[in-house]
Structure 1
Amino acid sequence: MRALLNSALYSLVWWMFRPFNGLVRYKSAPQPLRETLKIDPTKPVVYILAQRSWVDMFVLARLCREQVLPRPNRTGSNFPTVERAGVVYMDALLETRRHPTALTRLIETGIATKSFEAQLVPVSIFWGRDPGKETSLWKLLFADSVQAGRVQKFFIMLFNGRNVLANFGLPFSFREYVERGPDAATSIRKLTRVLHFHFLRARTAALGPTLLRRGVVIDGLLNAENVKKAIERAAGKNGMTRDKARAHARKCAEEIAANYSTTSINFLERFLSIVVFKRVFAGIDVQGLERMRELAQQYELVYMPSHRSHADYLLVSYSLYHAGVAPPHIAAGVNLNFWPIGGLLRRCGAFYLRRSFSGDAIYTAVFRAYVDALIRRGYAIEFFPEGGRSRTGRLLQPKTGLLSMVAEAGLRQDIRRVAMVPVYIGYDRVWEVGSYTKELRGGAKSKESAEGLLKAGKILGKSYGKPYINFGEPIVLQSYADQYLPGWRDAVAADSEAMPDAFKGFVARLALENSRRINAAAVANPSSLAAIALLASPQRVVAHEELVEQIGYLIWLLKGEPYSPLLYIPESAPAAVVDWSGPIGQIARVPHPWGDLHGVAARDAVALTYNRNNIQHLFAIPSLIANLFRTRLLLSDEAVIMGVRALYPFLRNEFFLRWEPEEIESVVKSWLTVMTGLGLLAREQDRLRRPDANQPAYSTLAMLGRVLGETHERYCMTALLLAEERRTVVPLKREKFEDDCRLLAERMAILTGRDAPEFFDKALFKGYLNTLIEIGLVSVADDKTLNVDPRIDRIAERSQELLSDEARQMLLQLLSRRRAAESAAAESPVASPAAVTEASREKPL
């Protein structure tokens, strides 16, 4: 009788729910759902719902119908079959641990029936994506909760039905699991325990930890031990009382702290989907999301992406949210805290930091306490190790200030381990590329403001292709510290404020490793591949058939010797690469009776260098190998290896290459195998031979050698300047030398007609000098004077072999005239570099 009444009530509720069913809007994770779950059609399926809810089951039934998955049915007292999938509620499973039920008997029968097998699929249905917050009446009534009764569930469905997440766990074998226990009762206890922890982890991964009111967070920061000490130290200095110091600390906390709101996140997600991304992008290509879902259930996540655009943090949070992973709290520059965008970003998880903490010990203490609180409470964090957006497209040297705080807080975390997640972000065309070009030419950086936000609306009328996101191989912080920071566990156990002496070096190593893993997850998108081939062609013009052929070789090189297992190539058809990248990169196609030509104007070429620099590191080694054959027809394997080994330290530091120096010999051998297999090189007895000039492969090898042409020119400039300065008696100051390198490159760029401001980026020359110091060819005295090893003369001589005849001749001429030019410049006014560059465009030199 009871079963009959229950069945009638179920039917009534189903008919009552039916009008609402079509209004429910859901997202499912993982995606694509059917392909990821890989359900075996020959075995029965049992869905296990996280809570007892007929409404959840109705949503599950609709989702399974639309996703072509086995349809769920009430289990009752019958075994599920291949044709009839079953449903079990987690609440019912937990009851079996307290007292026998009909479900207990069914499970025990299934365990005893050795021929019975089923695929168990845990499913969590989240209404509203709200992790919960210190409550208001609204939250009590309408926020999803595992304790919700039937009446409350009705209101939850009514107000959150447009934002439902169905989170599926991967199937696991019933038979394989229950046979681990010595008896049925033990097997059931183990099964329920595993599922219970699965649902807890899945909820935390999808929704995040329970939120605190912002006022509670701020009060907690003021009561943090290090903040109270900073207030006490500041009191009495410069006339500051304790009350004033505490008021300043509160002001700092209010400036920093986020005000996370799921309502604001839902609004921003819809605004971006409908108004921005749909108009600007032709889709968003994301890789590695399923790995993030798994990691979020095991670790505290710290996302550390490359930074190329203001769209970066929007895209990462947007992609994670759509994949059913809680968006992170994001460290944003205080320059973004302007009306109206600052408040919205704060409610979407942004916390603000100043560019410099120096001179304000209270601010530093408050910020450190806030980072520690985020890690301790289990919130995911995102920050950009480069500190600012890259204006050149290549990764910048990482900054370690915020990373140091995060690493220390993570190592003191005693609940869950912390995983640092490198994230590669690339674009077919970045929004800000025009302003980046102006800044590189000497223009002032545009300040973020409401006025600038309104002007940015013009991007809505343009097409920027696709953004590409690839989540890289994570670094488990505690495991990495076990390897490279001896004694850290003892320091933490002692509850000391100080970390081991080697902590600073450990953080620097961690930052470089993250950069290398970002580049290991690179995306060779169509615009970047086209930019590589086109910019490496003489005069930036190439025949259509030749461009298609060369892009084909680039793709074959990447597939023949993948830079890493995570390298992603979205489009492998060379002709499709050309067709896609042409309109986005402003690459003109000029008809000609002998075959169409592709070319790019000087200004558009600057924008293309940004795309080229995104993936230039992927071709660093084969480009150097190709360049070694520029002036030689034949070379032995040993000569090639020796040439690459000599320059590899510079390449590794500039491009954050992943191989250790001792690995480079085997890497070069692998590349030689691939290049000979593609016909770019050939074996002639015991040596390697380049193709003849009349062979098509010759032009491809020449193109490949020019990919790093500007890089080799900068190396040569640095070596030649050091060799020249070594022969003088005047002390060589580091800052003066770096300026001379930049001026030499700038002058060479103007005289050769290059519209490439990044060619004379001072940061690159600083990096080269650091590498020379690391390998012992240069040392720095206490007064910043450089001491140069005589071996630099040989390196300067050999480096000229990497240059074309024209580049070598011009560089030597510029060096010979430098002293006279410096003397003349001291006696007359000098135009700014930006003015000279602009003048060179109007009237060629």
Structure 2
Amino acid sequence: MTLSLSGFSRMTSLLSRWLRFRSIDPSWSELNLPETANIVLVLDNNALSDRLALHLLCRKGAIGSVDASLATSGHMPRHVMLHQLKRSFLRSPQNRPSPHFEAFLENIEHHQDDVPVMVVPVAFFWGRRPGREARGLWGLMTADHWPLSGRLRRLTTLLFNGHHIDVRFGTPYDVKALLNAPAPSASHARRRVVRLLRHQFQQLRQQVLGPDLSHRRTLVRSLLMTPSVRQAISAQAEESGAELPHVEKQAQRYAREIASHTSPQTLWLLYQLLGRLWNRLYDGVKVHGLSRVRELAGTHELIYVPCHRSHIDYLLLSYVMYHHGLTTPQVAAGRNLNMPVIGSILRKGGAFFVRRSFKGNALYGAVFNEYLHQLIRRGYPVEYFIEGGRSRTGRTLPPRLGMLAMTLDSFLRKDSSRPMAFVPIYIGYEKVLESGAYQRELTTGHKKKESPFDVLKVFKRLREPYGQVHVNIGAPLRLDDWLNQHFPDPVRTDHHWRKQAVAALGEDLATRINAAATLNGINLVALALLGTSHMAIEEDLLARQLTLLNALQAHAPATQEMRCAEGTPSEWINHAIDLGMIARCDQTLGPVIVVAEGRAPLLTWYRNNVLHLFARPALLAFAFRHRRQLTLGEIDDLVGTMWPALDNEFFLEETDDREESQTLLQAMTALGLLKATDRGWERGATDDNEQLHWLGAMILPTLERGFLLVSLLLRSPSGTYTAQALEQQSQALAERLTLLQGLNAPEYFDKRLFSGLLDTLIEGEWIHMADDDTIVVSQALDDALRQRRRLFDAPLRRRLHHLLAQPEAQESD
């Protein structure tokens, strides 16, 4: 549509009250354009709606002093179109090269001067980002998508989504420098500029809309034609003796079982419903670090790897991305969630389903592997939980490496030009929906099967308070850089390198997730209260301990990514009471805070969410448990060998242990817990000594587990136990110990924790495995236990001695 300059201005004025710009990213000032340059704005095509939006954007002053009118300044236009739309009655609109842009480049070549010409790609997205709660179904139907729209649809888009325009600027380029760069010919240099800008617009659209994913039926059909799946089908037919068409149908059923069927309408409906659900359940969802995702979106294949605390996790993360104008990921969900009704909704919301194990089913593994590769190759963001399942203990679980291995294999196939980046995400709840179920599962050892009727139970809880949710984006892991650093090309000649790389990748990602932990009032109350002897404390002392814990992270943060809690101790205490976690008992001498009835196991879950942040200072505090004064060397002798066990159990970032100890000791001195002396450090006054004792008590369960396992191992001759037998016996003794101590803490005797301790002992060369799979113990381990057993209280040592002396403690496989 061609309009005169006066007609164009009148139409812009007419629409100025209707069109609204919801977001401009990045801002004009962030582009850092030279003040002396000629600025030329570039649109992807000559769509009238985009030209009107650009004209209005300039009139509102959102693009500096640039005027986007149709007039020119000398030989330089204010804006140009990269393409022109070719329309016909029989075909949808098509992009064609713009002769005006070609003329613009030729004009620059003929007017050579010293003034740079900066071209700035600008893209408008109508209705993609749902910044308001109510837009209506028509607004969704006319929102931007990958195929080009006709005039009628563009007009409808302008009417329904004129209040919801998002503006995205691409990277500015000095077009003169590009044209003057070495090239075979002038026409070749001009084509290079066009390709560069076209790629910019594709990146902007992919960042906002996601890639143009084929229809599910087309994707399923293409999966069955790939060489890897064809080979698996042939192998299955040959092995089973079945006819080839029968095996092909089986592969097709697997593909349909796996594949998502993303529907924009369903995404919009879920956004509306979940927005209302969050408002009813939570006091707010706070998102930190989203700029990291924006920097990578459009240029990298994104793999989101959040921690897994609740079924809410994947719904929440998709909601956050949709709300902030980013492509919602394709989410790997367990096949147990593919239930009637619920499974269909999740599938249309972007979920693809995966079985817990591929063992013994090579055909299913080949189909799933290829499906994941197709998602990655096409540039769709993918989300999965490296822990495998939800954490019933509250701590980050050891990574399950299957999905990571398939992702690495896809990356190494190199049929995608986009680099890959993993995005670790920590999700912290003040109260989790499944908390009661977790405690039952840990106690009984049985996991309840999911049912569609579980959704109805959520509605019963809508009146309960659940506090806030924090979503913290950790430091992204760029896979190219990571591989070059840890596994350069010469190392990759070893056939074991891939297995080692996957294990190291899982460890690194778990560490980055933990590094992004966010403290909240419930975490701090749980840490402080569970560190007391009887889970009861005066309210003023609790407030002091909460202040200390938060200040300790402010003085010496465990990681650069973690976030301290917001608010005051009195607010945290009152909030924990409102959530039913603790109770206040009013006494004549002042109120006492106690754990609410039956809530002690639940508080351990919230403590474990962030316990890793305090593991190292707690270990140092524990060293002063029975020693008033210590030098740095003495501290290192007492607890130095325990650092690797902490790093393994809590997925802590690698540091120089001695330097880390000095930093923490200085922070504890600044907070009054310790005093610096000529000999080193000593405990503070009585009140400070009590706070130091509570801090050290946080790490006691971890040290007790290690003390129990090593004591059991050394109780019998070397070569008595296999790893499995030792883990089982340690678990049984730990469970018995919790009963004798009057504790209800199922996570204390989690078998995976004992397995991790054994791995640490093997890595530290304290033990090694014999040819018959029994454990051979070094003398150094016996010496270390004798030296450090005095760290533990005498009653605990006596109780362990009694447990180990019982006949069942001597049994092994």
TM-score grouping bracket, smaller chain normalisation? 0.7 to 0.9
Taking the TM superposition and a 5 Å limit, the aligned residue runs for 1:735-774 are 735-774=724-763
Does the residue aligned with 2:239 lie in a helix, a strand or coil? coil
Q: Indicate the residue corresponding to 2:651 in structure 1.
A: 656
Q: Indicate the residue corresponding to 2:135 in structure 1.
A: none
Q: Indicate the residue corresponding to 1:529 in structure 2.
A: 524
Q: Distance in 1 between matches of 2:634 and 2:36?
A: 59
Q: Indicate the residue corresponding to 2:563 in structure 1.
A: 568
Contact 1:61 1:71 in 2 (8 A): no
Deviation at 1:648, TM superposition (A): 0.8
Q: Distance in 1 between matches of 2:35 and 2:180?
A: 30
Contact 2:120 2:169 in 1 (8 A): no
Q: Indicate the residue corresponding to 2:591 in structure 1.
A: 596
Q: Distance in 1 between matches of 2:458 and 2:57?
A: 39
Q: Indicate the residue corresponding to 1:232 in structure 2.
A: 234
Q: Distance in 2 between matches of 1:221 and 1:577?
A: 53
Q: Indicate the residue corresponding to 2:10 in structure 1.
A: 11
Identity %: 33
Alignment deviations for residues 52-106 of structure 1 (CA, whole Å, 9 cap, x no partner):
44534666788899999879864343779xxxxx8766659965541149x978x
Q: Distance in 1 between matches of 2:742 and 2:61?
A: 58
Taking the TM superposition and a 5 Å limit, the aligned residue runs for 1:743-822 are 743-816=732-805, 818-819=806-807
Alignment deviations for residues 394-414 of structure 1 (CA, whole Å, 9 cap, x no partner):
111101111111111012234
Query: Is the counterpart of residue 332 in structure 1 residue 325 in structure 2?
Result: no
Structure 2 unaligned segments of length 5 or more: list them.
85-96, 131-138
Structure 1 unaligned segments of length 5 or more: list them.
81-85, 131-137, 492-498, 826-845
Q: Indicate the residue corresponding to 1:646 in structure 2.
A: 641
Q: Distance in 1 between matches of 2:170 and 2:545?
A: 42
Query: Is the counterpart of residue 710 in structure 1 residue 698 in structure 2?
Result: no
Q: Distance in 2 between matches of 1:788 and 1:207?
A: 58
Q: 1:247 to 1:27 in 2, by over 3 A?
A: farther
Q: Indicate the residue corresponding to 1:77 in structure 2.
A: 71
Q: 1:88 to 1:98 in 2, by over 3 A?
A: closer
Contact 2:735 2:748 in 1 (8 A): yes
Query: Is the counterpart of residue 216 in structure 1 residue 209 in structure 2?
Result: no
Contact 1:209 1:377 in 2 (8 A): yes
The one-letter code matched in structure 1 to 2:357 is: S
Alignment deviations for residues 595-637 of structure 1 (CA, whole Å, 9 cap, x no partner):
3222213521211111111111111111000000010011011
Contact 1:555 1:572 in 2 (8 A): no
Contact 2:39 2:117 in 1 (8 A): no
Query: Is the counterpart of residue 400 in structure 1 residue 394 in structure 2?
Result: no
Does the residue aligned with 1:375 lie in a helix, a strand or coil? helix
Deviation at 1:258, TM superposition (A): 1.1
Query: Is the counterpart of residue 267 in structure 1 residue 269 in structure 2?
Result: yes
Q: Indicate the residue corresponding to 2:317 in structure 1.
A: 316
Q: Distance in 1 between matches of 2:697 and 2:32?
A: 46
Q: Distance in 2 between matches of 1:39 and 1:601?
A: 60
Contact 2:118 2:175 in 1 (8 A): no
Q: Indicate the residue corresponding to 1:375 in structure 2.
A: 376
Does the residue aligned with 2:332 lie in a helix, a strand or coil? strand
Q: Indicate the residue corresponding to 1:207 in structure 2.
A: 209
Q: Indicate the residue corresponding to 2:169 in structure 1.
A: 169
Deviation at 1:246, TM superposition (A): 1.1
The one-letter code matched in structure 2 to 1:77 is: A
Q: 1:239 to 1:52 in 2, by over 3 A?
A: same
Alignment partner of 1:449 out of 451, 465, 481? 451
Q: Indicate the residue corresponding to 1:679 in structure 2.
A: 672
Query: Is the counterpart of residue 611 in structure 1 residue 610 in structure 2?
Result: no
Contact 1:715 1:799 in 2 (8 A): no
Deviation at 1:574, TM superposition (A): 3.5
Q: Indicate the residue corresponding to 2:49 in structure 1.
A: 55
Q: Indicate the residue corresponding to 1:83 in structure 2.
A: none
Contact 1:45 1:121 in 2 (8 A): no
Alignment partner of 1:517 out of 505, 512, 521? 512
Contact 1:45 1:119 in 2 (8 A): yes
Q: Distance in 1 between matches of 2:681 and 2:478?
A: 43
Q: Indicate the residue corresponding to 1:464 in structure 2.
A: 466
The one-letter code matched in structure 1 to 2:479 is: L
Q: Distance in 1 between matches of 2:722 and 2:524?
A: 40
Query: Is the counterpart of residue 98 in structure 1 residue 102 in structure 2?
Result: yes
Q: Indicate the residue corresponding to 1:505 in structure 2.
A: 500
Q: Indicate the residue corresponding to 1:279 in structure 2.
A: 280
The one-letter code matched in structure 1 to 2:560 is: P
The one-letter code matched in structure 1 to 2:102 is: R
Q: 1:445 to 1:716 in 2, by over 3 A?
A: same
Q: 1:664 to 1:61 in 2, by over 3 A?
A: farther
Count of aligned positions = 784
Contact 2:5 2:70 in 1 (8 A): no
Q: Indicate the residue corresponding to 1:689 in structure 2.
A: 682
Q: Distance in 2 between matches of 1:749 and 1:373?
A: 49
Greater shift in the superposed pair: 303-312 or 624-633: 303-312
Deviation at 1:27, TM superposition (A): 5.1
Q: Distance in 2 between matches of 1:168 and 1:648?
A: 47
Deviation at 1:445, TM superposition (A): 1.0
Q: Distance in 2 between matches of 1:586 and 1:44?
A: 63
Alignment deviations for residues 620-661 of structure 1 (CA, whole Å, 9 cap, x no partner):
11100000001001101111133332101110110011115x
Q: Indicate the residue corresponding to 1:386 in structure 2.
A: 387
Q: Indicate the residue corresponding to 1:834 in structure 2.
A: none
Greater shift in the superposed pair: 732-741 or 327-336: 732-741
Contact 2:145 2:209 in 1 (8 A): no
Q: 1:144 to 1:335 in 2, by over 3 A?
A: closer
Q: Indicate the residue corresponding to 2:347 in structure 1.
A: 346
Q: 1:721 to 1:27 in 2, by over 3 A?
A: farther
Deviation at 1:460, TM superposition (A): 1.9
Query: Is the counterpart of residue 721 in structure 1 residue 712 in structure 2?
Result: yes
Greater shift in the superposed pair: 547-556 or 647-656: 547-556
TM-score, normalised to structure 2's length?
A: 0.87
Deviation at 1:717, TM superposition (A): 0.6
Q: Indicate the residue corresponding to 2:624 in structure 1.
A: 629
Contact 2:81 2:100 in 1 (8 A): no
Q: 1:777 to 1:384 in 2, by over 3 A?
A: same
Q: Distance in 2 between matches of 1:757 and 1:466?
A: 26
Deviation at 1:699, TM superposition (A): 2.0
Q: 1:351 to 1:165 in 2, by over 3 A?
A: farther
The one-letter code matched in structure 1 to 2:294 is: R
Does the residue aligned with 1:332 lie in a helix, a strand or coil? strand
Deviation at 1:684, TM superposition (A): 1.6
Q: Distance in 1 between matches of 2:531 and 2:120?
A: 55
The one-letter code matched in structure 1 to 2:168 is: F
TM-score, normalised to structure 1's length?
A: 0.84
Deviation at 1:527, TM superposition (A): 1.6
Does the residue aligned with 2:773 lie in a helix, a strand or coil? coil
Q: Distance in 2 between matches of 1:365 and 1:343?
A: 24
Alignment deviations for residues 729-784 of structure 1 (CA, whole Å, 9 cap, x no partner):
x8323222212111111111111111211111111111111211221222223443
Deviation at 1:593, TM superposition (A): 3.5
Q: Distance in 2 between matches of 1:239 and 1:71?
A: 74
The one-letter code matched in structure 1 to 2:614 is: F
Contact 1:588 1:599 in 2 (8 A): yes
Contact 1:43 1:118 in 2 (8 A): yes
Does the residue aligned with 1:441 lie in a helix, a strand or coil? helix
The one-letter code matched in structure 2 to 1:469 is: V
Contact 2:42 2:119 in 1 (8 A): no
Does the residue aligned with 2:392 lie in a helix, a strand or coil? coil
Alignment deviations for residues 147-202 of structure 1 (CA, whole Å, 9 cap, x no partner):
4453331133456668x451433896x8x88689869x999999876554332211
Q: 1:445 to 1:37 in 2, by over 3 A?
A: farther
Q: Distance in 2 between matches of 1:405 and 1:807?
A: 46
Contact 1:772 1:778 in 2 (8 A): yes
The one-letter code matched in structure 2 to 1:166 is: D
Deviation at 1:790, TM superposition (A): 2.8
Q: Indicate the residue corresponding to 1:153 in structure 2.
A: 154
Greater shift in the superposed pair: 602-611 or 48-57: 48-57
Deviation at 1:357, TM superposition (A): 0.5
Contact 1:167 1:324 in 2 (8 A): no
